[in-house]
Every structure is written in structure tokens, then in C-alpha cells.
A and B are shown apart, each in its own frame.
Chain A
Amino acid sequence: MNQQATKKDELDLPLRYKETRREKTGVFFKKKVGWLFVIVSVIAITIFNFYPMVQAFLLSFQSGMGSNLEYVGLANWQRLFGDPTFIAALTNTSIYLLIQVPLMIVLALFFSVLLNDPNLKFKGFFRIAIFLPCVTSLVAYSVIFKYLFGVDGIINVFLLKFGFISETINFLADPFWAKVVIILAITWRWTGYNMIFYLAALQNVDKSIYEAAKIDGANSIQQFFQITVPMLKPIILFTSITSTIGTLQIFDEIVNITNGGPGNATISISQYIYNLSFEYTPDFGYASTVSYVIVILVVILSIIQFRVAGEKK
């Protein structure tokens, strides 16, 4: 059956091709109609996405207070490299990225494999429990984390009562611990979200592959690395790119938990953009230069991830 079908397809192909060539005008008409269908969204995307992007790009070559902007050429870009706050923001964001994204991806993968186990009881409960953080509001959960890790917060009380520490740690006033709290918070919030993608993908992996592997004597660790990971590769790529983009844009958590402090120890690029526009004397030109740094970073990191993941296109 199958073979016959393939043969028929092969025969059909050139025939269809000839047809299309003959009815060239018809195709052109069809294409026009097709364009009509997409034209609304194309226009909308142009107005609301491309136009602001071009404007922001132009803005990144201007500088000045508020509405007194003038073109300054590449001065904003030069200013970037000598701006200690920007460098601090870039460093912090990179730290979040390098530690948090891999940590979260690995955790999400781990949870999804556990929860995909057909023998697991209360599967629904566990899935919901891990996914639930994703439905909380960013601000609400940030504020809760802030109070959990406060000097009089429950984490300190817990650690004290059980004798892990002899005096309270001021988590949010310590440059190192403040970063740890931020990373913990984002990981808690987003792991479940990524897990859902893996769970969905795992449902589509053919069980017979695992059965075959078992017969060949592969243990579960081998199965995980030789079957699960390769099968989930496109999804891992997708989640790592979206997580990377998300982490580069991180704002709510930082502002609400530490407000960038202590000093600039936790400030992120997005918060710096906000500060430049609304907290200090507004300089929208320089702020959009900093915004374009995020764009450039996202492009570069995505290319790297594609390369590493071995996608040819």
C-alpha cells in the first residue's frame, strides 16, 4: 500500500507542476486573494511592530533631556561602554541568564520525565502543583518572595529555629544573597511553564522506542540521554530561546523584590532602561540605545543556540 502511494505521488508531481505553469494568470490571481487575507495583519504588524522598531532605532542615535532630542551620531553607543551602571546591569543580567536558564531547563526536564511516568499516582495533583506558580501575577509573587526573604521573614525564622544559622541573614541587603533570591524566584515561577512544553512533547514520543531500547538492555539513564533528550531537542531549543529572551527582559521581579539594590547588585538591563526614562531626568535616546543592546543580544544568543542545537536552517 505504502509503496504504491509513494509511486503515485512521484507521478503526480510533475503533472501538477505543468498545470500550474499553464494557468499562470490564475495563480497570480490566487496569490492576490491570499495577500488580501493577510493584508490586515501585515498592516497591523507594520504599524505596531515595525514602525516603532524603526523609530526606536532612529531614537537610539539621539540624545537630550525629555523632548529636546538631537542627533548625536554614535555618541550613545560610545557612552554605553564607559557607563558603569550599564556594565553592572549587563553583568547581572548575564549572571541570571547563565545560572538561571540552564538550571530551570534541567529542572523542567527532570520534572516532566518524572511526571510522565505511567506508574505515578496523583499525577494531576503534582502537575498542577508545579504549574500553578505560572498563573500567579508577577508583582504578587515578587512581593511575597520579598517578605519571605526579609530580615523577619519566614525563611530566616525557619533557619534560625532549626539552628542552620546563628543570626539572621539580611538576604535582600547582601549583593550575593539578593542575586540568589532573584534566581530562586524566577526559577520557581517559570519552571512549571517550561515543564508543560516538555510534558506535551513527551506524549508524542512513541512508546515503542523505549520498549525497543529496554529489550536492547538500555537502563533508564541511557534511555533519558539517548532517547528522551534527542527526541525533545526542538522543544529544548524553543524553551531555551524563549527563556533567554524572558530573562534578558527581566523587570518585574527585580523592581519588586530588591529594586536593583543593594547598590546596583541586582539591577537588570530593563530596569536600567526604565530608570533612564522615568526615574532620572529622561533621556529616551540613550534608553533606546540600551534597548537595542537587548535586541542584539537576543539575536546573537539565538543564533548560537541554533548552531549548538545543530539546526541546519
Chain B
Amino acid sequence: MKKFYLMLVLLVGLAVLAACSSGDEEASGGSSAEGAGSADTITAWAWDPAFNIAALEKAKEAYNGDGDFEVKIIENAQDDIIQKLNTGLSSGTTKGMPNIVLIEDYRAQSFLQAYPDAFHPLTDVINPEDFADYKIATTSHNGEQYGLPFDSGVAGLYVRTDYLEQAGYTAEDLTNITWDEYIEIGKKVKEATGKNMLTLDPNDLGQIRMMIQTNGSWYVKEDGSTPNLAGNETLAKAFETYKKMMDADIGKIVSDWSQFVGAFNSGDVASVPTGNWITPSIKQEAEQSGKWAVVPMPRLDMEGAVNASNLGGSSWYILNVDGKEEAADFMLNTFGSNADLYQTLVKDIGALGTYSAAAEGDAYAVEDEFFGGQQIITDFSKWTDEIPGVNYGLHTYAIEDILVTGMQDYLKGTELTKVLENVQGQAEAQLK
């Protein structure tokens, strides 16, 4: 009997609590002002102090609009931002949420669709046509533009000209080639110098992502959610090419970022196929000045594939909380329309934006001594326009985790069609 009463008390207690919590939700809509930053302070979250945070600082200096507010820039690791956004937005409270947040393009759609009312549309604020085409698909949803496209993930092939020379090649020989040709050159380079051609990380299929985007293909179909793995010829080709690299033994296996950076800083690899955001890390090793060049990304040996691709990149989003008008005003007057700001970003930080009008400025034409006097920014922004636009959709990382396992099976000898059918089945089962 006593136990019964105890249970009763507990149940009543729970019911009361549940009632309280739902009451809170309604109340929070009104009281969020102080948490989210009232109109005289707007908060921005981003990661990477050398790149995104620095860009925000420059934007803060460059802001010349009418708004009278303080911009508070807060640095968080990208993983922390994702976690905080997810927990905050799903709990329905806007307390402690920022006004402006940076989201990686591969993840943007999942945020936009998972929290439909959480973001402030910028359709009437910015003109999407001012930005690189390929960024628009991932930053908009249901016909509304939500993201302000920021850094370009345009990829290039960074090559060590001195190693190539020892094997009898010039950077010219690597310009606009296919991956198959790249592998052949890689073998020769390894023969001549003993150095591996590139780094490969079996847990990070960025290599595959860059390869398939050269042919306008992705892990998901155009709707952004149906897995597009089995029967995807581009993906199959990319898998085959990856295996060829492994078989040719031209890849140095790394398992994390620091090993990846360490490999080219210490001169262990002859080339680095990756996004242009790696430039500051490449230049970190001042002794290698003059020994590098950047050429267009190799393409898959297929009809329609181009020598331009993308890896990573992110965009700014404005949360639908108090202060959104001020935040939108800040963004419009900085990243949204200020071509001079982009010149500063290129000059001082090496950050390449996707604002098309900026490409005509002087800073883009600067010759970089580190890369033997090459106008790398001009080259990169030229390649940006050639990147095939794809809808990254919702499940990039979920599918990639499945593909990583599939890749292991394939490298161990399972037949490719079987592997891809297998991963397709897994992805369909998992992504309901």
C-alpha cells in the first residue's frame, strides 16, 4: 500500500513537471530577447581563428551600415557548434543561441530541414546571383535563400615542382589531366624520388567526394535524400581509381589531420589534392617557398567530367531570434555586398570568398612568391566558376560512414558492384 502511494506521488510529480516544462516553452518565445542578444549586441559563432574568426573581425572593422550595435565574435570548435545548435534548436529554446552562425555546406541542408523555422530567410536581403552558382543549391531550401555563401571550397592540386622535376615532369604536365594519368605520373615520381604522391586517409573519403563532384555526381540523388550509390557509375569509377592508387602504392596512409598536414610540411608527399583553404597550412613551411605550384584538380576519365571540384566550404546563417534584422543588416553590409572586404580577406588571411564581384579586384591578381609567382587566387576563382553544382542533401556524413566500410571491403577484394549494392541497402535501411 505504502509503495502504491509512493508511486502515486512520483507520478503526480512527473505530471506536474511535464506540465511545467510545456508551459516554459510557450513562455520562452517572449523572454528570449535577453538570451539571444538584444538589438544592441549581436553574437556570431564560427570556428578556426586563423580563417573564419579572422574574417569576422575584418567584417566587423569594415561594417559601414547604419545599425548601432556591438558584434560579439565567439570562437567554438565546429563540433561544438553543431552540438549546441542541435540541442538548443531541438529543445525549442533560443536562450544562448547566436544571431549569426557558420555552418559547413555538407551539413546545411540537414539543419535547414530539421529546424524549419529556426533560420531567418535572406531572400530579400541578398542577391543569390552575386555569388558562385554552385553554392546556391546547398544554402537554399524550399525556394528561400537562407545562407550567405562564404568561403569557397574550390579544390586544386598542389604539387611540389622540385620533386616533379626529378622525375622529368613540369607542373604543365599535370595540368588538366585525368586521375589515371595522375597515377602513372605518381608511380614515376615515386621511382625517381622515393616520395609518395599523396596522402590517403581510409576514414575520410574527401578524395572520393572531390572525384565524384568533377562529374556532377553525389552520394544522394537530386532530391537530396535518396541514396545514389548502387548503379552510380561516377562513384564506381571513383572507387576504382582509389583502389588503383592503393595498388600503385603511391599513397601515404594517414589517420588524422595533424598527420595529413605533417606529411606535406615535412616533404613526404609530392602533391596535395584538396580545397584551397589548405594554402595557409602549405605556406606554414617557409623553407618550401618556390617549390610549390597549384594546378587544376584531375578529373575522372569519363564523358562530362571537368577539371574543377570542391571540398568543404561553409556559409553564414542568421537564426530566427531577436536581433535578426540587425544581424541581416550587418551581413548585407559586409559579406553580402562589400567587394573591398573580400580583397582584404584574400590579402590578409588568404580566405577566398564566393562573391563574384570581388574577383575583379587587385588582390586577386597578386603573384604569390611561395608558389613561384603564380596568381593562385585568380586561378582558384576561375576554377570556382567551373565547379559542377550538386545538391549535397541531408546525409553526406551518414553515407560516408557506410561507404568507408564498403571501401574496406572493396580494397580487400569484394566485387565492386556487390559492394555498392551492399552500401545502398545499408544506406536505405539507415536513412529513413
Contact = CB atoms under 8 A, between A and B. Distances in A.
B69 interface: no
Interface in B405-430: 405, 407-408, 426, 429-430
Interface residues of A, number: 38
A85 B253 contact: no
Contact of A68 (B17, B116, B395, B405): B116
Contacts of A260: 401
A173 to B, nearest CB: 6
B92 A65 contact: no
A85 B426 contact: yes
B26 to A, nearest CB: 15
Interface in A75-115: 79, 82-85, 88
Contacts of B278: none
Contacts of B404: 261-264
B115 A67 contact: yes
Contact of A264 (B116, B202, B255, B405): B405
Interface stretch (B37-45, B79-87, B135-143): B79-87
A66 B114 contact: yes
Nearest to A173: B202
A170 B254 CA distance: 9
B233 to A, nearest CB: 24
A123 to B, nearest CB: 41
Contact of A280 (B10, B18, B398, B408): B398
Contacts of B79: 278
Contact of B113 (A47, A65, A84, A261): A65
B151 to A, nearest CB: 22
A284 B82 CA distance: 14
Contacts of B17: 46-47, 51
Contacts of B253: 151, 170, 173
A20 interface: no
Given A262-B202, A277-B86, A51 B255 contact: no
Contact of B398 (A84, A150, A264, A281): A281
A269 interface: no
B107 to A, nearest CB: 8
B230 interface: no
B259 interface: yes
Interface string A268-307: 0000000101111110100000000000000000000000
B14 A54 contact: yes
Contacts of B114: 65-68, 281-282
A38 to B, nearest CB: 12
B36 to A, nearest CB: 17
Contacts of A68: 114, 116
B25 to A, nearest CB: 11
Contacts of A259: 203
Contacts of B429: 79, 82-84
Nearest to B258: A147
Contacts of A282: 86, 90, 110, 114
Contacts of A150: 255, 259
A182 interface: no
A248 interface: no
A261 B203 contact: yes
B346 interface: no
Contacts of A176: none
Contacts of A85: 401-402, 426, 430
A284 B13 CA distance: 25
B405 A278 contact: no
A217 to B, nearest CB: 53
A285 to B, nearest CB: 11
Contact of B395 (A51, A262, A278, A281): A281
Nearest to A267: B401
A50 interface: yes
Interface of A: 43, 46-47, 50-51, 54, 63, 65-68, 79, 82-85, 88, 146, 150-151, 170, 172-173, 175, 259-264, 275, 277-282, 284
17 contacts: A51-B14, A63-B432, A65-B394, A66-B110, A66-B115, A79-B432, A82-B429, A83-B429, A150-B259, A278-B86, A279-B82, A279-B401, A281-B113, A281-B394, A281-B395, A281-B398, A282-B114
Rank and list the top 9 A-B pairs by shortest CB-CB distance, nearest first.
Answer: A66-B114, A263-B405, A281-B110, A280-B398, A65-B114, A261-B203, A263-B408, A281-B394, A66-B115
